[in-house]
């Protein structure tokens, strides 16, 4: 792919070409969050009256896991990304419907995650509020301990 030539293309053509380089679930994430690729090949959310919010490069989108991309959109720190990637089998992706409550969903659509061994539901927006590494490590230790207890019994 000639990325230099692609930078000069019309944004609609550039988006279509770059989206075709990605796996279907990654394309669905970009669509869900209305991200467009700019001339520098960074995915951003265009807003008419506000400055552009740049999320990540196309290179990042190609090489990263779906969990990493979603957590990056929610601006979660590297420690949280690594913990959830390593322990993803312990979690279930969820969305919330005001009529039905929490519903299991496809990974690309998640806005919440439920820990399978405790039932604790984490809102991805609220995970970014944990700014103390000590607090986050305590949370990880608690979740890991609860998993060990559940598996042992």
Q: pLDDT tens digits, residue range 8-29?
A: 888 899 999 999 999 999 999 9
Residues 46 and 99 occupy one common structural domain = no
Counted domains in the chain: 2
Residues 95 and 49 occupy one common structural domain = no
128 assigned to some structural domain:
yes
56 assigned to some structural domain:
yes
- Top pLDDT among 7 and 41 is at 41
Residues 81 and 150 occupy one common structural domain = yes
70 assigned to some structural domain:
no
Residues 115 and 151 occupy one common structural domain = yes
Q: What is the pLDDT of residues 89-98, one digit of tens each?
A: 999 999 999 9
Residues 120 and 150 occupy one common structural domain = yes
Q: Return the percentage of the chain with pLDDT > 90, whole number.
A: 85
Q: Which of 33, 63, 93 is the last residue of a domain?
A: 63
pLDDT range class, residue 108, cuts 50, 70, 90: very high
**Mean pLDDT of all residues belonging to the chain:** 93
Residues 82 and 135 occupy one common structural domain = yes
| Angstrom distance (rounded) from CA 119 to CA 141 | 16
With a cut of 90, say whether residue 7 has pLDDT above it: no
Domain of 7, in residue numbers: 1-63
69 assigned to some structural domain:
no
| Angstrom distance (rounded) from CA 142 to CA 148 | 10
Q: What is the pLDDT of residues 124-151, one digit of tens each?
A: 999 999 999 999 999 999 999 999 999 9
Return the exposure string of 59-86: e unless at least 16 CB atoms fall within 10 Å of the residue's CB, then b.
eebeebebbbbbbbbbebeeebbebbee
pLDDT, residue 3, reads 78
Q: Which residue has the tokens 């929490």?
A: 102
Of 49, 1, 52, the closest CA to residue 22 belongs to: 1
pLDDT, residue 153, reads 83
Residues 59 and 105 occupy one common structural domain = no
Residues 43 and 99 occupy one common structural domain = no
Of 75, 80, 145, the closest CA to residue 117 belongs to: 145
Q: Which of 31, 63, 95 is the last residue of a domain?
A: 63
Interacting residues of 143 by C-beta distance below 8 A, sequence separation 6+:
87, 90, 115, 117, 118, 120
Whole-prediction pTM? 0.88
């Amino acid at each position: 792919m000639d990325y230099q030539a692609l930078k000069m293309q019309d944004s609609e053509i550039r988006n279509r070409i770059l989206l075709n380089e990605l796996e279907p679930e990654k394309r669905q994430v970009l669509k869900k969050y209305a991200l467009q690729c700019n001339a520098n090949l960074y995915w951003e959310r265009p807003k008419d009256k506000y400055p552009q919010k740049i999320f990540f490069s196309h290179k990042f989108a190609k090489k990263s896991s779906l969990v990493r991309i979603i957590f990056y959109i929610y601006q979660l720190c590297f420690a949280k990304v690594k913990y959830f990637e390593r322990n993803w089998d312990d979690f279930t992706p969820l969305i919330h419907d005001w009529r039905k409550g929490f519903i299991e969903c496809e990974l690309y659509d998640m806005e919440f995650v439920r820990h399978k061994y405790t039932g604790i539901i984490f809102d991805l927006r609220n995970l970014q509020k944990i700014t103390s590494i000590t607090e986050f490590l305590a949370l990880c230790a608690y979740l890991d301990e609860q998993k060990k207890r559940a598996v042992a019994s």
